[in-house]
Amino acid sequence: MRATRTRRCDANEEKAVANGSREQSKSGIEIRIDHDLCAGSGYCEKVCPEAFEIRDAKSWVRPADQWRALPREKLDEAGASCPWDAISVAVYEG
Amino acid sequence: MSQVRSDTHSTVAEGEIPVVDPAEITLFAKPGEDWRARYDALREQHPFFRVGPDPTVWFTRYDACREILSDGELFWAGAFQTPDAPKIMGWDKQPAWDRESAAEAVRRHIHVRKALMPRFTPSECDRWIPRMREIANDLIDRFAAAGEADFVNDFSRHFFPVLGMEILGAPLEDWGRLAEWQHEVFKVPPDISGAKLLDLQNPTMEAIVDYVEQLIESKRSSPGDDFIGHLLRAEKDGMLLPEEVRWAGTIFVLGSGHTVTAHLGYVFKYLAEHPDLRLQVIREPEKIDSIGEELLRLHTLFGHTRTVTEDMEFHGCSLRKGDVVFVCYTMPCRDPRGPGQEELDFGRDSTRHLAWNFAWKQCIGIHFARRARRVALEEWHARIPEYRIRDGVELVEQVYAGIGYHSLPFVWQT
């Protein structure tokens, strides 16, 4: 299960988001969506439309300046709503 | 009730939900009948309807069906049940009885899905492809030289179920029995009349529930690297409750076998009747996934009900809390109003049809099933590139529960 975390991402995770969407805020919070898993259910967009949008049956992360001021909990809630565990919200060092 | 129109399909009462003649909705297709075309006509005639005296409301068009499947808070995936109600099978999902409890139950269901996901990711499914090829070829070895086989009874009813039993962690000696149960659990005799839809307490269902429960207990002291072991570790880690472990194990058996078996039957029957598309499968294997997905859209399996959690106006229909609605997948999946669904397209890169269900209840085994379909198509056509349905055969197609063809005799030259 993908959880909120603070650590360096590994090679497998880099590979996992090679087919996906990612945005990082200046504070280091990064949202990643794995499009191999995402089925476009839209729950993330419903919970947090500032950070997520559905296009072409996939979820995409909006530019970080649109969500960087949001409470972290709202981003986490959006990530937790994904039935496919396709979203990770984390502070990445790598 | 004042009737304002009556025709061969239905009667429509002013201000009420149209009522369709039960003869339009059958458990079995008549020989040679294109029942899906009849359902297409019903969809075009009615965005929603009821069938005879049954109060269930069928929704027929893409947008409404997508919303029903997507919104578990307004359309709960099960009958209303209070927390103190007796369990039916011991693995019932978290109960819901109104919108608030349904929303909470949906959140819990998504939590459970996340606990299961490590065993259903694309990369995990890729790991099983070599084994899928072995199973496919072991089965084909048994009949390839004979020039004939029953695709359903000699191949598809064993192929994916056997793989599933291995993934589950069932002992080898039980695989045959479990595959048989999977094939039989939703199957009804063609001569039956007035069959009770989705009888959750038939003997085969009870046998599966009992078997899975015993399998879980037998592995509890020393969980292996199989699916049951994964569930037990998730339980130990506090991710899953004991009843969720039983539910996941049981649904794994109930959901995986007959669905893929039926889908492969529809795919291979279509290819047997369409040599040009069969040639494309052989010559352009990179197109197999898109061909298979379009054939799934055209020949979806049955459907699912939902219970309405509060009074609402929905796509022109007045629904009350407690009403039951039904999505028969073939209707929205063939609805030309759906995205890209206005024409047959075996080359589309992506699809947004609803044949796998959608959103919080979308088939978690989708990546396994797609890979298994690809392997079956590749391995079969590498060994048996040309085949046809045996002359004079009258096929039995079970509409109900998405069982599909009970038998599919093929012949070919050796």
Which chain B positions have a beta carbon within 8 Å of A85's beta carbon?
113-114, 117
Q: Identify the burial level of A40 via C-beta atoms within 10 angstroms of its C-beta, where 0-12 means exposed, 13-18 middle and 19 or more buried.
A: buried
Buried b (16+ CB within 10 A) or exposed e, B326-361: bbbbbbbbbbeebeebeeeeeebeebbbbbbbbbbb
pLDDT tens by residue, chain B, 414 residues: 333 333 445 555 555 899 999 988 888 888 888 999 999 999 999 999 999 999 999 999 999 999 999 999 999 998 887 777 666 555 566 788 999 999 999 999 999 999 999 999 999 999 999 999 999 999 999 999 999 999 999 999 999 999 999 999 999 999 889 888 888 888 877 766 554 455 556 788 889 999 999 999 999 999 999 999 999 999 999 999 999 999 999 999 988 888 999 999 999 999 999 999 999 999 999 999 999 999 999 999 989 999 999 999 999 999 999 999 999 999 999 999 999 999 999 998 778 999 999 999 999 999 999 999 999 999 999 999 999 999 999 999 999 888 899 999 999 998
End-to-end CA separation in angstroms for chain B? 64
Instruction: Tell me, yes or no, if A18 comes closer than 8 A to chain B by beta carbon.
Output: no
Interface of B with A (CB under 8 A): 70, 107, 110-111, 113-115, 117-118, 121-122, 239, 339, 350, 352, 358-362, 366
Beta strands in B79-229 (DSSP E): 148-150
Contact B239 A1 (CB under 8 A): yes
The Cβ of residue B305 has, within 10 Å, a number of other Cβ atoms equal to 19
Return the number of CB contacts < 8 Å for A and B.
Answer: 46
Mutate to test the interface with A, among B73, B117, B354 (most CBs of A within 10 A): B117
Query: Given B110, B239, B358, which is nearest A81 (Cβ)?
Result: B110
The predicted model scores a pTM of 0.91
